[in-house]
Amino acid sequence: MGISAPANRELVIRIEVALCIVVLSLLLANCTSVHAPVTLTFVDQEWATTTFNEERERELREFTRETGIQVKLLPSPESTREQLALWRELLRPGVSGPDVYTIDVIWPGILNEDFIDLKPYFANEISGVFPAITASYTVDNKLVAVPYDANIGLLYYRTDLLREYGYGEPPRTWDELETMAARIQVGERAKAKKSKTEFWGFVWQGAATEALTCNALEWQAAEGGGKIIEKDKTISVNNPDAIRAWQRAERWVGSISPPGEVGYKEWDALNVWIAGDAAFMRNWTLGYVDSQAAGSPIRNKFDVSLLPAGKASRVGTFGGTGLAVSRFSTHPREAVELIRYLISKDVQVKRSRLLSEAPTRPELYELPEVLGPNPRFALLSQAFRTGIVSRPSNITGKKYEEVSNAYMQAVHSVLTGERTAPEAATSLEKELVRITGFKKGPPARGIIKP
């Protein structure tokens, strides 16, 4: 759901008040000093955990110490839809908005016109980033944002349960996952007390949100069912491989996955998993920190792997954030300095060690200080090279929200049994033609490597 107009306006007012305070402080400083320090305003999209907030404040204090440039961190909503609504408000002409924005990987095509091209400023840095990650923030050869952190869909699995049931490694295919999940689920329920019978084989994100778009794209891309809309702007979603992938997921609901799976978001699946009530979970890289936290019932009892393969490949949907400079910024030079600092090698290494955030540069995955506390990063490095599938956000630009909403609703109708997969795919194809004006076409073959 999007943010309501009154709530959105209230948050804009809060930010405008914060900006006024910043401006007033600068005016007062000018009364005593001709050369008042520049103060940047920065609105961040990241999850607001205590650990993250403390590390973010430390980074900004260090940046100010090194450069003399002050940074005012502004509040933001929690959900990405609410954030996007707020970003649009703050980027309206005439609004004295922030200088630097954190933007989701699916926003460059939507907000392209609101940010400056960063390619001339970061040519050297970008050359060292995973090419697939850089491509996600590039629209019409314009670097809308500099990649800041990287994320990808992964399979979490209980190492203790796999050993107990005689499995030497996690499932390599979706068929293997179904078999293993069903067997472990039956065994765990059989030995549980009556009040503890709701153990599940596999939890994921089935609510009609952007997370379902990510999950379903992984299923169909792994089967060779394409990427919803291909790079050549052909709508490929209505094909037998995509349909079979949706039908398989429909079988999971109520069998190896809870009946309420169709309402699960990221935190719902994570809570079931952390409680020790699932054998497998699909989630993002960030789920590792909470799973391994002190007091977690599954601490040291799990690991992660690439998502299972279909007949075509093993892929995870790419996620993450980038840093962008508003075209309305009055301090673009200083804004670029802040971004350069936040993506620097030293800062990325510290963030990977303290927050387990995945770096964007391949070279950092070879450092002992990065791999030591994050042994799973070797897997991520492989995934970022060969196992990424991207949502068609840059291809569809400002229409991506409509495209994603149509896609997630179609898949959700299959999961709930409201429509058959062939019916949903046919209807979705027509809807995407209407939204985009693109033509129908087959999925591209051989573009996603296993």
Residue 17 has pLDDT above 70, yes or no: no
The domain segmentation of the chain, as residue ranges, is: 5-144+319-383, 154-315+392-440
User: Strand 234-235 vs strand 146-152: parallel, antiparallel, or unpaired?
Assistant: unpaired
Q: Fold match between 5-144+319-383 and 154-315+392-440?
A: yes
The token pair that represents 240 in the structure block: 């037998």
| pLDDT value of residue 196 | 65
| pLDDT level of residue 195 (50, 70, 90 thresholds) | low
| pLDDT value of residue 306 | 94
When mean pLDDT is compared across 172-186, 207-221, 344-358, the lowest value belongs to 344-358
How far is residue 93 CA from its own chain's centroid?
A: 28
Distances (CA, A) of 181 to 154, 218, 251, 381: 16, 19, 13, 27
411 touches 424 (CB < 8 A)? yes
pLDDT digits (tens, 9 = 90+) for 379-413: 999 899 888 999 999 999 999 999 999 999 999 99
Within the chain, what is the greatest distance between any pair of CA atoms? 76
pTM for this model (two decimals): 0.88
pLDDT digits (tens, 9 = 90+) for 69-91: 999 998 888 778 889 999 999 99
Mean pLDDT value of segment 28-49: 66
Residue 431 has pLDDT above 80, yes or no: yes
The token pair that represents 341 in the structure block: 């600092």
228 touches 393 (CB < 8 A)? no
- The one-letter amino acid at 119: K
The token pair that represents 206 in the structure block: 């089935």
Q: b/e for 373-385, b at 16 or more Cβ within 10 A?
A: ebebbebbbebbe
Residue whose C-alpha is closest to residue 1's, from 73, 84, 105: 84
| pLDDT level of residue 210 (50, 70, 90 thresholds) | very high
The token pair that represents 402 in the structure block: 């409509």
**Highest averaged pLDDT of the listed ranges 33-47, 52-66, 162-176:** 162-176
Domain 154-315+392-440 sits in CATH at: 3.40.190.10
Domain 5-144+319-383: CATH architecture, name and number where available:
3-Layer(aba) Sandwich (3.40)
When mean pLDDT is compared across 83-97, 257-271, 309-323, 394-408, the lowest value belongs to 83-97
Residue 296 has pLDDT above 60, yes or no: yes
Residue 34 has pLDDT above 50, yes or no: no
